[in-house]
Structure 1
Amino acid sequence: MISTVTRLFDPMVRLLVVALLLAIVLPVPQSQQAIGQFIANAAVFALFLLNGLKLPRDQVLRGVKDLRFHGALAIWVFGAMLFGGWGLWQAGGYLVPPLVALGFLYLGALPSTVQSATVYTSMAGGNTAHAVVAAALLNVLGVFLSAPLFALLAGSQAVAFQGEVLAKIALILLLPFALGQMLQPRFGEIVSRNPSLTKWTDRIPIAIAVYVAMSAAVNEGIWSRIAGHEWALMLAGVVVFLAYANAGAWLASGLLGMNRGDRIAFLFGGSQKSLAMGAPLATILFEPARAGIILLPLLVYHFVQLVLAAPLASSLAARPAR
């Protein structure tokens, strides 16, 4: 219980709550939306530059060697989870507004979150080394796979994955990450030994992206576009998706004959979804007003996964291995 409450008041969660409330009370004016988007893009550029600096190359090389674990996890995250999101998108189209339903497909296309997956794996007594490497590898793959996989299933009506969008992804996500990796041997150790340097620079770009996207959604009348019962249905969809993610990851790792420590790492790596990737990418793929609505399932999923993961990790840690 204490762990759950602690995670609920995690600095990232508090910052997201502030960003959402600020977007509701004081959204970016429509006349200043272009400036807000430019600031968000600049913050995202800095975020991915730091991600490139922080990721040691030897982690990637170690992960490549264990194809059985990391290959299976990648197939689960970008295969089974993607089609789980596709299923909720198809079913949700009859129950919630189309953009909210589309948000479930977008949620399914995203990689795992780094911090939560590794923290909860450690709490549950799992293979933390595997969790760290897996989260890093999945986020690298996510830079290249999430957007095209989403576009492939969603179709051109949802996102025109060409021309300007490709240029934005290359400029704002791939270029800074590549620059960070190039500079990593020289400056990566400085960053890793001084986590306070990136403590807030990791969080603030995400909050800015959420604030700008939700501001546009508020300006477009999000409260009149989503009815009360539709909010409840969206929450139910998130809970169903999270149950599918956790149960499916645990069963899949068991069928693959993994040991308990690896199964725990697979569980949290396969069920936690990355807001750090999802929020910035949404501001690139979609118009701001659409991005704010499409992000709703991801934002709700992020909060719910923190609420449920802590007691799950505690239960696994207390349960003796067979």
Structure 2
Amino acid sequence: MSRPRFRLPSWLPIDPYVLALLATVGLAALLPVSGGAADAVGGASMGAVALLFFLYGARLSTKEAVDGVRHWRLHTTVLMATFVVFPLLGLAASRGLQPWALTPELATGLLFLCLVPSTVQSSIAFTSIARGNVPAAICAGSFSSVIGIFATPLLAALLLGGQTGGFSPDAVFRVALQLLAPFIAGQLLRRWIVRFLDRHRALLSYVDRGSILLVVYSAFSAGMTAGVWQRITPQRLGVLLLVAAVLLTVMLCLTWYAAKWLGFGRADGIAIQFAGSKKSLAAGLPMASVLFGADASLAVLPLMLFHQLQLLVGAVLAKRHAAAAGPAPLPEPTPEPAN
């Protein structure tokens, strides 16, 4: 007789990958690497980031991207929310809350959270549950990820400034080398490797997630060695969680009512709300490792908190949208063949 597997309650959608991230943070706290081992882990982390963005480029279908441009008003709305409204809110919050509520490091991380692109997977999942425009959510998330490779470093240079040590030509070259060059290489080689990627999609998902875990371990090990966590109190973390919750609530409301004001229908409005209010942990973590180096451990903390909040709130909101839409339509009956 098989033993029943443990399952989390449906109303508590904690992402198992978030638990893996927290376990990685705990491992870095207990067993941080230093010296030569830290150099080796750091080098492996840089290679993992390059591999991630190579796979992002190889998986993006150029045809799907071109087809999605037809819905340009929806995608423009999502991009404005992601790369204009979010950064403005983050800039106001980070400047207004430091140093009395947040340390400069946490305020920088909060602003960085607002600069990363939207997520793809959860936007699609929640849009589907809510019975919104799923193809639009797919394209919107994909466009945001691609544009984020350019926009996030440029916005970081503009808004973070000296907080990231400045954006020297060397820093720009490192960002291009680690993020943009592998992405372009993936696009160029896509026609020859796309079938291999499709056949091994499940295995490559483990490569993706394992690479990000390595990036997290490297960043948090560097933070432990440098003693940055000694400057963070539980009260500051509580304030950070509250600020992330307020930021998510504001963006969910803004995207929903802006979609209505712009004349979008219900299905499009749902896609705009979910794609325009989300932030990608998968894209943000490797970007932070390139932009912040040894300070990445604190820079990604707000993003990790926001990621779990958007999953919890998004699951509840998607079910409410589905309930408000009424029962799902029945499929059309298949006509019987003529005798």
| 8 Å Cα contact 1:3/1:310 also seen in 2 | no
Provide the rounded CA distance (Å) in 2 between the counterparts of 1:202 and 1:187: 17
Provide the rounded CA distance (Å) in 2 between the counterparts of 1:195 and 1:179: 19
Change (3 A) 1:117 1:2: same
Aligned 1:23-42 pairs, distance under 5 A = 23-42=28-47
Corresponding residue number in structure 2 for 1:145: 151
- Describe the SS at the equivalent of 1:154: helix
Q: Aligned match of 1:211 in 212, 217, 233?
A: 217
1:192 to partner: Cα distance: 2.9
Aligned length: 318
Q: Which runs of 5+ in 2 are unaligned?
A: 1-7, 327-339
Corresponding residue number in structure 1 for 2:319: 314
| 8 Å Cα contact 1:117/1:272 also seen in 2 | yes
1:61 to partner: Cα distance: 0.4
Corresponding residue number in structure 1 for 2:170: 164
1:315 to partner: Cα distance: 0.9
| 8 Å Cα contact 2:75/2:140 also seen in 1 | yes
Larger Rg: 2
Corresponding residue number in structure 2 for 1:236: 242
| 8 Å Cα contact 2:15/2:308 also seen in 1 | no
Deviations 1:48-105 (A, max 9, x none): 1111111100121012222111112111110001111111111221311101011111
- 1:264 matches 2:306: no
- 1:177 matches 2:183: yes
Of Structure 1 and Structure 2, the greater helix share is in: 1
Question: What TM-score, normalized to structure 2?
Answer: 0.90
Aligned 1:47-62 pairs, distance under 5 A = 47-62=52-67
Q: Which runs of 5+ in 1 are unaligned?
A: none
RMSD: 1.6
1:251 to partner: Cα distance: 1.4
Q: Aligned match of 1:65 in 61, 64, 70?
A: 70
Q: Aligned match of 2:251 in 245, 256, 273?
A: 245
Corresponding residue number in structure 2 for 1:46: 51
Provide the rounded CA distance (Å) in 2 between the counterparts of 1:193 and 1:319: 39
1:179 to partner: Cα distance: 0.8
1:320 to partner: Cα distance: 2.3
Q: Aligned match of 2:140 in 134, 137, 158?
A: 134
Change (3 A) 1:234 1:52: same
Provide the rounded CA distance (Å) in 1 between the counterparts of 2:211 and 2:11: 25
Provide the rounded CA distance (Å) in 2 between the counterparts of 1:93 and 1:31: 36
1:250 to partner: Cα distance: 0.9
Deviations 1:234-259 (A, max 9, x none): 11111111111211111111111111
Provide the rounded CA distance (Å) in 2 between the counterparts of 1:312 and 1:281: 29
Deviates more, 1:162-171 or 1:274-283: 162-171
Provide the rounded CA distance (Å) in 1 between the counterparts of 2:74 and 2:46: 34
1:157 to partner: Cα distance: 4.2
Provide the rounded CA distance (Å) in 2 between the counterparts of 1:20 and 1:147: 25
| 8 Å Cα contact 2:108/2:163 also seen in 1 | no
Question: What TM-score, normalized to structure 1?
Answer: 0.94
Corresponding residue number in structure 1 for 2:203: 197
- 1:90 matches 2:95: yes
Change (3 A) 1:4 1:161: farther
1:180 to partner: Cα distance: 0.6
- 1:3 matches 2:10: yes
1:196 to partner: Cα distance: 1.1
